[in-house]
Amino acid sequence: RKQKCGSREPGDAAADGSTKSRSSTWRVRVPSLRRTFAATRWLSRVEHRPMNSSSSYAGEAPTMPDDGDDGGYGDDGGYGSEADAVDDDQGRPYVPPASVSDGCKPSFAHNIEKHFLVPTRLQDKPYELIEAANDWHYAMMNDHPRNEFYKAALARVVRPDSIVLEIGAGSGLLSIIAASLGARTVVAIEANHHLANVAREIIRRNGYGGKIHIINKMSTEVTPDELAPYGTPTILLSEILGTLLLGESALHYVMDARQRLTAPHCAVVPLRGCQFATLVDSADIVSITSVQDWQGIDLSWFNSLQDTTSMVFTKQYGFRFSSCKYTELAPRVPVLPVDFASDTVGMWRGEKRTRLQIQKAGTIHAILASWEVYAVSNGVQEDDLVMATHPDATLDNFPRDMQWGQGLQLIEDMSKEGDSPVPFTVSAGEWLTLVTRFSVDGVTLQFQLERDASN
């Protein structure tokens, strides 16, 4: 079931302020911290603020009280300046679960009923870390085509004298791949203390203890002096991609590292990416997001509560989109191309408008957000090596749907806005304008459709 914003868990404060156990604050659970965006995006960025904080993010939901968890890693106008992004509160990057920069957080055992059994190995670990590891880390590591993509991409750039810097080591898998391909040295940055120790042990067990070095910090807190003993990195490696392409502030961290920590013109893996939008007609989606009647009982007024504003991770709905029956009514639209080797945070402030033509008549029930990332060879862009989250790319890849999946935003015809949403019906050959609105850092986005006056 989809987690609700502000839902209470056992032991949290009751509505009247009374408590039954250790916690007297709201605990807001984010179903997938790795996949933070739109409706859930503000949770990952605001949930650590104190209860008496009077400030909130402009245009976003009110500040939630701090629950004391251990956090971690992880063509057309309207664009603002980088300075605007730095100063704007909305431009704060995603912080991974249980990072060293985020203070002391409750343990896993602290969040479990006192009389429930908790294995000793888990008792002192941060609750958020265990939640994240079991939510998506296993699926990520078992996404074998993902691992093969990174191995092939690294094979194109690793040389015997290569010094690789990885942002977000996690298990250490990608660093081990880089080392196994012959890199001279690999420096892996991991913000979470417990994950850093896990990575060290995995690296040791695989025989790379003398070649891979872990730094337990946020990458933005690492200094060139700390890297000096290993040499200046010539390859910048990361896999901090979310359900949305920049959902884990990948560009923020990559940009910072390439500007401060790496050699000029270092190889960046992955080199580029692109966020796509697809207009879909799907009776399956309708069946879980709206209602009409049952045995003559009119229930349609309940649709006045339908959320056509937020982007939701398909996993939060409890299904794989690739398992649904759906029709693509127009070609997939690229809405956010990203060059990780040169782009800067703040480039996508505002909105982008894209004209597109409908190919099949139907009703646009939702817009599906998926992405592609690309590798590089000797400085030349190579689109033949692609990793994607489109439903047709995940059909035979269950782990990828469980760790990334796609974003889904329901659609209504805003030109006919009223007390209940009006379906957005289209005819073949009709022209529409897709409006994509971006957060300052490009981490989150929102879609809207407008009918073209030329129809």
Q: What secondary structure letter does DSSP report for 137?
A: I
Q: Could you please report the per-residue DSSP string of 372-420?
A: EEEEEETTEEEEEEEEE-SHHHHTT-HHHHHHT--EEEE---GGG-SSS
Residue 377: strand pairing partners: 380
Whether 113 is a known active-site residue: answer no
Structure-token pair, residue 167: 């942002």
Q: Structure tokens of 405?
A: 């999946």
Contacts for 100 with CB less than 8 Å, ≥ 6 apart: 191, 192, 193, 216, 217, 218
How many CB atoms are located within 10 Å of the residue 55 CB?
9
Catalytic residue among 128, 166, 239, 430: 239
Which is the catalytic residue, given 131, 248, 372, 430? 248
Q: What does residue 84 show for φ and ψ, rounded to 5 degrees?
A: -60, -40
- CA 70 – CA 48 distance, rounded (Å): 9
SS3 labels along 56-116: CCCCCCCCCCCCCCCCCCCCCCCCCCHHHHHHCHHHCCCCCCCEHHHCCCCECHHHCCCCC
Q: Count CA atoms closer than 13 A to 139's CA, side-chain side.
A: 18
- Whole-angstrom distance, CA of residue 368 vs CA of residue 407: 6
Start-to-end Cα distance in the chain: 41
Distance CA 37, CA 45 (A): 10
Angstrom distance (rounded) from CA 197 to CA 203? 10
The CA-based dihedral angle spanning residues 124, 127, 129, 131, taken in that order and rounded to the nearest 10 degrees: 130
Pair of tokens at residue 55: 């400030």
Residues 251 and 413: their CA atoms lie apart, in Å, by 33
Q: For residue 3, give the DSSP letter.
A: P
382 is catalytic: no
Q: How far apart are CA 123 and CA 144, in angstroms?
A: 31
CA atoms of 279 and 366, how far apart (whole Å): 6
d(CA 29, CA 13): 15
Burial 296-329 (b: 16+ CB within 10 A, else e): eeeeeeebeeeebebbbbbbbbeebbbebebebb
Q: Which residues are catalytic?
A: 239, 248
